[in-house]
Amino acid sequence: QGGSGSKNVQHGATVALESVKAKYVINCAGSYSDQIARMIGDDSFYIKPRLGDYILLNRNQGHLAHSTIFPCPDPVLGKGVLVQQTLWGNLILGPTARDMHNKETRDMSNESIQEYILSKCKQLCPYFDAKEAIHGFCGARSKSSRGDWIIEPSSKDANFIHVAGIDSPGLAGSPAISLYVVELMQKAGLKMPPNINFNPNRAPIITPKVGLRGLKMGPPGKNDSD
C-alpha cells in the first residue's frame, strides 16, 4: 500500500499476500502501526492520521524567502502553515493540518485546500505569484492517541518494539530514535556484534539536475552559481 494514505485513496491494488515470521519486530508502520499492533493483541494506542498539504511554486519565486517564515503556532494544530525555500530554490507553501477524524477537514475540496494555504501564506509573504504553482502534494502525519511518540516494547511481547506516532519533528529526531531502538533491542536479547566492514561515510545523495550549474535559483533570469 505505502504512500501517504490507504490504497483506496491512492487507487492502489493488493497484488500479493505473504506471511513473515521473526523473533524480533520493530513496528514502524506509520499510519498503520496501530493495525500492526492489533496483530499481537496490543490495543494500547490508535493512530489519528493528520494530512499535510503543500503547494510548490516555481524557482523564480524562491528568492522571496531566504529563511523559513513561521506564523504564531496554533495550540492544537502545531506550527502552522509556513513559507520556505527548497534546496532547489523553489518556494514551498504549507503544510495544512487536516485531521482525518474531523469530517469538515477530511472532506475539504482541492480548491478549498489551495485557498486556505494561499490565504495563510499571503499573510507571511504577500508578494509571491500563485500562478507560478507547479505542483501540489500531501503527506500523512501519524498522530497517536497518546499525544506523544510511542517508542517502547509492547506490553504483549517484549520482542515487539513500537516506534509509532512519530510526527514532527520525527525527521530531526530519527538519529536519536534509532539509537534508542537499538538499546531496546539489545535489552530484549538481540545480539549485535560489530560489523567490521561497516563504512560510516556515505556519498552525497543530492546531485544537480542535468543542465543546471547550481542548485539554487535567484530572481528570474539570475542563477546563483553564475
Q: Following DSSP, what letter does each residue of 28-87 receive, concatenated?
A: --GGGHHHHHHTTT--S--EEEEEEEEEEE-GGGGGG-SSPBP-PPBTTTBT--EEEE-T
Weakest mean pLDDT among 2-6, 47-51, 83-87, 109-113: 2-6
Confidence of residue 204 (pLDDT cuts 50, 70, 90): confident
Confidence band, pLDDT 50/70/90 cuts, at residue 8:
low
Q: Is residue 201 pLDDT above 90, yes or no?
A: no
pLDDT at position 185 over 50: yes
pLDDT tens profile 127-155: 999 999 999 999 899 999 999 999 999 99
